[in-house]
Amino acid sequence: MMRHSWLLSLSVIGILVSCCYSYEYDEYLNKTEILYKDSVFGAAAYTPLTVGLTIIQGAASRGAVCLDGTLPGYHLHRGYGSGANSWLIQLEGGGWCNTVRSCVYRKKTRRGSLNYMEKQLVFSGILSNKAEENPDFFNWNRVKLRYCDGASFAGDSEDKAAGLQFRGERIWWAAMEDLKAKGMRYANQALLSGCSAGGLASILKCDDFRGLFSSRTKVKCLSDGGLFLNAVDVSGGRTLRNMFGGVVKLQGVGKNLPRTCTNHLDPTTCFFPENLIANIQTPMFLLNAAYDSWQVTASLAPPSADPHGYWTACKANYAHCSTSQIQFLQRFREHMVNVVQRFSRSPKNGLFINSCFAHCQSERQDTWFSDNSPLIGNKGIALAVGDWYFDRAGCKAIDCPYPCDKTCHNLVFR
């Protein structure tokens, strides 16, 4: 049987100044995520916050179920003090599934079934409960909504023959109703965030999130590592567009995409953030690495586009890229900078595009807020987001091109 073109597993190590991260990369699930090891936090000296899983019991009556028909869930850590009526909703990432085969595979993982989800998750970075790690949001109600649909919480369809439920849109609404009943309806401040596929979801759902609250509530959105580009790969094709096309068609995503886009563009094109961000009415902050490590690996130079492996060393370690490969990556950065120009003109929006080889920087403590966090100018990510959210200062930060930034926590794959 021919191996699926997106099936590839490799382990990844993040090479940092003072910490060591282990990463998991699996193209079949299309994800890059942290596997926290004791060495990350120093288990003897520090125990990170872990938060238990809450199952959304009322979801079944709405047909809001994971790929395999099990119930969805979230992790909630309650706020207190000045943050008791403030809510931060983090949409979990974890790639997509674009074929029946890949979705059948996915439904037997934590990205498709309650049965395989971790019952406890680490809350770090923007989800941390410590002021010294998360100065602006540490005492808010902080929620991690689990991702088990494979279409960035946007699908609504099914494949009965394959036993697949594509109900991301319903999961989104069921979760929001459940959280409103637990006090979110009374929020005076709210922030919707997400990483990777969750970052794309935070873009798709931003204005819907605003609509959950009264006009008196301060509502904004943050997309981390979610600015997926409709870019040409190293073979001249469009790997990610083909992937997104499968997701949109299989999972019935088109009817749930913003009408401001679908009234003049096809649904697959409207699944790309570059065609959505300028029309979002709610204040939005885009946090993204200019040389997004997931996009370099899975969109620009996947094995299907590089069958002879010319890009293997470069993808694993940017220091091994040739001059022509760096030039190709610089054009990708230019594409990203160009697509945010109109978005950045609005005073309500924020930007932090750093010239790093990274992906998802708000959930990792070392990149979110630490002694050696990445900087643009003299400002780190947590301070930039906090200044923007609380209107202390604007932030429209776009880094100079590689290799000028010496503060990056670049990922090195092996």
Domain boundaries of the chain, sorted by first residue? 9-413
User: Measured between alpha carbons, how far apart are the two ends of the chain, in Å?
Assistant: 27
What would the pLDDT profile of 280-317 be if each residue is shown by its tens digit?
A: 999 999 999 999 999 999 999 999 999 999 999 999 99
- Among 102, 128, 196, 344, the active-site one is 196
Pick from 309, 91, 328: which is nearest to 221 by CA? 91
Contacts of 291 (CB under 8 A, 6+ apart): 318, 329, 332, 333, 355, 356, 357, 402
Phi and psi based region of residue 211 (left: phi greater than 0; alpha: psi -120 to 50; beta: remaining): alpha
In tens, the pLDDT along 205-240 reads 999 999 999 999 999 999 999 999 999 999 999 999
Q: What is the DSSP letter of 282?
A: S
Asked if the model's pLDDT at residue 5 lies above 50, the reply is no
Any catalytic annotation for residue 202?
no
Q: Which residue has the tokens 């079944």?
A: 60
What is the mean pLDDT of the segment spanning 74-82? Answer: 98
> How far is residue 296 from each of residues 18, 207, 312, 366, measured CA to CA in Å?
25, 29, 11, 22
Q: Would you say how long the chain is, in residues?
A: 414
Closest CA to 134 of 359, 373, 350, 370: 370
DSSP 214-232: -TTSEEEEEEES-------
Helices (H), 297-380: 312-316, 323-339, 341-344, 365-368
SS3 state at 192: strand
Which tokens go with 207?
């204005």
pLDDT of residue 328 exceeding 80, the answer is yes
Does the bond joining 48 to the residue before it have cis omega, within 30 degrees of 0? no
CA distance 146 to 98: 19
pTM of the shown model: 0.91
Please report which confidence band the pLDDT of residue 45 belongs to, taking 50, 70 and 90 as the band edges: low
Q: What is the pLDDT of residue 20?
A: 32
Dist. CA 14–CA 359, nearest whole Å: 11
Measured CA to CA, the distance from residue 270 to residue 307 in angstroms comes to 29
Dump the DSSP string for 197-220: HHHHHHHHHHHHHHTTS-TTSEEE
Among 359, 366, 370, 373, the active-site one is: 359
Catalytic option among 26, 149, 224, 292: 292
Is 359 considered catalytic here? yes
Long-range contacts, stretch 302-309, CB < 8 angstroms, 24+ apart: 302/5, 302/6, 302/27, 302/233, 302/239, 303/5, 303/8, 304/5, 304/239, 305/233, 305/234, 305/235, 305/237, 305/239, 306/234, 306/235
pLDDT digits (tens, 9 = 90+) for 336-347: 999 999 999 999
* pLDDT above 80: residue 120: yes
Instruction: State the CB neighbour count (10 A cutoff) for residue 17.
Output: 10
Answer yes or no: 373 catalytic. Answer: no
The answer to whether the CB of 125 falls within 8 A of the CB of 363 is yes
Which CATH number is associated with domain 9-413? Answer: 3.40.50
Ranges of H-type helices in 298-400: 312-316, 323-339, 341-344, 365-368, 381-389
- pLDDT interval class at 414 (50, 70, 90): low
Backbone conformation region of residue 125, classed left if phi is above 0, alpha if psi is from -120 to 50, else beta: left
> What rounded mean pLDDT belongs to the chain?
91
pLDDT digits over 159-208, tens only?
999 999 999 999 999 999 999 999 999 999 999 999 999 999 999 999 99
Report residue 63 as tokens: 């047909």
Token pair 């319903």 is found at 170
Q: Scan for tokens 């060393």, then name that residue.
A: 313
